[in-house]
Amino acid sequence: MRFKSGANRLSAWGVPALYAGSAFVAGLVFPRLESHFFPGLVSPMSISSAVAIYSSIASGMIALTGIVFSLSFVMVQFSATAYSPRLVMLLARDPVMSHALGTFTATFLYAVTALAGIDRYGSGKVPFLSVLVIIGLLVASVAMFIALIRRLGLLQVNQMLIFTGDRGRKVITTLYPRLHSTVPVTGREDSRGSHCTQKLIHHGRPCAIQSIEVVRLVRLAKSADALIEMAVSVGDTVVESMQLLRVFNAQKPISETALRREIELGAERTFEQDPKYALRLLVDIAIRALSPAVNDPTTAVQALDQIEDLLLRLGQRQLEIGDFRDAEGKLRLVVPFPSWEDLLRLSFDEISFYGATSVQVMRRMNALIRDLKPTLPEERRQALAYWEARLNTLIARSFSSDEERTEASIGDRQGLGVPLRSI
């Protein structure tokens, strides 16, 4: 199995800055090159018309930029009340937002700087290629505006649930191998009997573990004939003086710089290598919908739809993937990953607590568990049986009458729709 750390990306403001710088340079240089290499290639429009067009594009584009992004940020902040604020930041850093701002800015700056190329040195000519470039930028700006409007459609709660579920499905597919029959025993060596020769300590502000470069860590461990054990898992937040990893039985020290380079740290969690993150966000949306201020159990039911799909996929995968060996089969790296029980607890615990008095949520959770049990391997069903019993206990405690308890115990995929029937 090969894990890759996140690639370096331009910041949210780096992309518009690159667009702006390129447009400014092009607006100054391109008309000069055009007049030098293609002196006879001129536009039939008059100078006054060209100046009016360039000026209108420049003034209109900067106004459009301000209006569109003001509305975008207002919508993002307004929609933050419907789901997790962590998803709001994810949308705010969406590449479409950065490239749209860059395209609008580039169109404005090119139109302003290219004005100097009109009637250069009193030639009475309007460069033809420069006109084509400004028209092309204008068309690109319209296309980016349409893409931005379509992107804002993701701010609807239902679309956000689908978006989050898609990210979870992607990481499950890339991270976990398929479970063919039974969950294999890993045969891990017990590091407690080994000699710890080195520890890697985090220094600095709190950071989230975003990804781990497994292949390179295995290579480092093999070079020192050692075993590396991660003290934290992907998604954990590390603080000052917290252990990142421990090295056992090393024949020689491993460079701390090399070890740190293979652990990606960041301000926030990411989906990469973190199957819990998509579930965490879906649960956040569900429990926010169940809060007294929102009181929207239907959204919680829709979140459970996505959670069920992710659990179904996870239950059919081999989850015990934390042991990594070298080419000779010797254990070199141990990384903690969530177990099936951990994933179920994350998916059910908070939703069942906050939705305990909602008949709709209880019925949907009953249907979820009953649908998963026959479709998953036998070794996954014991944990589901535990949550089924726990859900029944919760229903018995939350509803006062037998009739209410009976209604809440029925499995219903819509919550309050068509009850499941035994075949």
Third-level CATH fold of 191-266: Aldehyde Oxidoreductase; domain 3 (3.90.1170)
Q: Is the pLDDT of residue 23 over 90?
A: no
Mean pLDDT for 287-316 is: 93
Q: Which long-range contacts (CB under 8 A, 24 or more apart) does 367-372 make?
A: 367/411, 367/412, 367/413, 367/420, 368/304, 368/307, 368/308, 368/311, 370/411, 370/420, 371/308, 371/411, 371/413, 371/420, 372/308, 372/311, 372/312, 372/315
For tokens 């902040």, what's the residue?
77
Lowest mean pLDDT across 28-37, 80-89, 215-224: 80-89
Beta-carbon neighbour count of residue 410 at 10 Å?
15
Q: What are phi and psi of 377, to 5 degrees?
A: -60, 160
- Whether pLDDT at 138 is above 60: yes
Q: Position 303: which residue type?
A: A
The rounded distance, in Å, linking the Cα atoms of 202 and 194 is: 23
H-state helical runs in 176-240: 214-223
Which of 227, 79, 49 shows the shortest CA–CA distance to 158?
79
Give the per-residue SS3 of 186-203.
CCCCCHHHCCEEEEEECC
Instruction: List, in order, residues 6 or more apart from 82 with CB less than 8 Å away.
Output: 157, 160, 285, 288, 289, 294, 299
Q: Are the C-beta atoms of 232 and 212 separated by less than 8 Å? A: no
CA 143 – CA 124 distance, rounded (Å): 33
Amino acid sitting at position 384: L
Lowest mean pLDDT among 77-91, 94-108, 315-329: 77-91
- Residue 287 confidence (pLDDT): 93
Residue 260, both tokens:
């740190």
Supply the pLDDT for residue 80: 65
- The arithmetic mean of pLDDT across residues 310-334, rounded, is 93
Q: Please compute, for residue 124, the number of CA atoms within 13 A of its CA located in the half-sphere on the CB side.
A: 0
- Closest to 128 measured CA to CA, from 246, 16, 32, 41: 41
Whether the per-residue pLDDT at 133 is higher than 60: the answer is yes
Q: Where are the domains of the chain?
A: 14-155, 191-266, 276-321+338-408
> What H or E segment, with its residue span, contains residue 346?
helix 340-354
pLDDT band at 290 (very low <50, low <70, confident <90, very high): very high
Which pLDDT score, from 0 to 100, does residue 181 have?
Answer: 45
**Residue 231: pLDDT above 90?**
yes
pLDDT at residue 3, rounded to an integer: 46
Read off the pLDDT of each residue in 360-364 and give the average, rounded to a whole number. 95
In the sheet with 323-325, reading across from the earlier edge strand, the strands are 196-201, 243-248, 227-230, 331-334, 323-325
pLDDT at 91: 67
Q: How far is CA 166 from CA 30, 60, 331, 382, 406, in A?
A: 43, 37, 33, 28, 35
Q: Which pair of structure tokens corresponds to residue 180? A: 């063919």
